[in-house]
Structure 1
Amino acid sequence: MKKVILLFIGLCSSFLSAQNISFSLEADTNSILIGEQIKLQLKAEIPAGDNYLWPFLPDTIKGLVTLETGSIDSLIENDRLTLSQNINISSFDSGFVHIPRLALISDGDSTFSQGFIIRVALAKAQEDKELYDIKGPKDAPFEWLPVLYIALAIISLVVLIFYLLKRIRNKKKAPQKEVIPSLPPAEWALQELHKLEARKLWQEGKQKEFYSELIDILRHFLERKYSLKAMESTAEELIEKIAKLEMAPENFSALSKSLRLSSMVKFAKQQALAYENEEAFQAIKEFILKTQVKQVKEEENE
């Protein structure tokens, strides 16, 4: 008697579990013309937390072509898990396509969807319309716009070639010999700084030109005074070389700031303020002056 009761309870439990699971396969139509699409939707509702195995549409169904298989969407609400998936299919053979029942497995139990048949028909020919001979190809109308584009492209190419040839000729000209200043490095640099200050470049909005000439004066001075390869060095490389020279920390900090500021202005990343321009100029001038004073003292001690 106990075995009968336990068997009855098990069957009831399985029945109730199956009642809690729903699974369907629906189509937006069951009749199409060859090449038209049908949207299938698989939809299931199971208890949240159940392990499930989602079915797939077999690719061996005669006459059926799967165009797109969407992702499986899920939503949990009131301890229920809702699953859905869209599949686009078509057929290129007239006749009937049989979509079989699909099985959703949840916690070991199988729930089946309904199967159905899709009718695929040929497009009807319009017999009541008169047939005409095939017309010959029409001449395309002449368009001026493509011709204009081609003409502009040719003109641009000629101008570019002329410009490149001119640059090549200029490069082939003998380079001018570099004039080596006769003054000592410090005197020459201070003289050039005085000329630069008198031109008031940054006051007239010519910051790039001002910093280019200011840093070039510093580079020439470093090359002549300390034999540093400064002309081809970047701002950061020049800072590393200056760090090896003997100078007060505040002078090194001011020079580093001036070099970095000049680099920012040169590449149009920053516009310097008036006081920053003055500080950069004075930092380089003070560095050269202190170098000159130090040299004079060394000569007097000798």
Structure 2
Amino acid sequence: MKKLVIFLSFFICAIFFSQILSSNLEKKTLALGEVNRFTVKIDNLNNQEVKAAPKDELLPFHFEEIKDSIGVKPDIYERKIEFSIFDEGTYTIPELEFRVGEKILKTIPYEVEVVNTAKKGDVINDIMNNKEVKLDVKDYWELYKWYVLAALALICLIIAIVIIVKYGRKPKDSPVVATNQTLKELDSLKKKKYIEEGNYRSFYVELIDISRKFIVKQYKIPADVLLTDDLIHLMKNNNTISQDNEKVVEDVFYRGDLVKFAKTFPDQQTMEKDFSEIRDFVKRSSKDIEFENLRKDA
């Protein structure tokens, strides 16, 4: 009997003193541009600090956040977000992490369907009857002259590009120039002190943007237009980048994607490590280019 009383006491304490996270999505189906509301509430904080994605950056990029209000009391944390979506389709609010002290709480995922309320069969009636107007050559010229001039300008531009490519002197792309320029950009990123301030989202956005531009210049791989999965797959099949450098790009880029969608919160040590590895990758890249040139000449 005594053990039962002790067990019930522990159970009641766990209920009353543990943090409870709840979330609510007002509407699951929206019209284009309609405002919806998403609420997250955490009870029993006991004066503990809550860490989450920065203001106006909690939801994925398809969700246009209109208002992001955060209310904090000693025992309650409440975050209310108003948003709209302007493209048809089904969109997902993923699991969102909220750190309370050393404990991580997660919301449940939600799906939002966005529909166009305009019906295909809707009839649009003119206010006035259409009138027939006869046009002469001058009228047609006034209507279409800009299209004609634009077409002529495009033809001239294409001819100029062909002449430059065929007869112009092609500048030599130096791996060292691309490396030095990217190292300067990384030094500028370091001076912004995102790592020291814990601004992990801005840090990874700029770090990956610098890395993508560098891969385009140094390896001629269209990293600026490829998704991370497609880029990693292309690098592995391309064989231009060494396996060590591929591993660095793969690890840092995937972590950057998780940070972008608020699925992970890297600490300062992790950000320092990723910065150092990208910097080393940039420095080692010239060896990849030298090896690729030797392989082509063989």
- RCO comparison, higher one (Cα < 8 Å, 6+): 2
TM-score > 0.5, shorter chain as reference: no
TM-score (norm 2): 0.36
TM-score using structure 1 length:
0.36
In terms of Rg, which structure is larger? 1
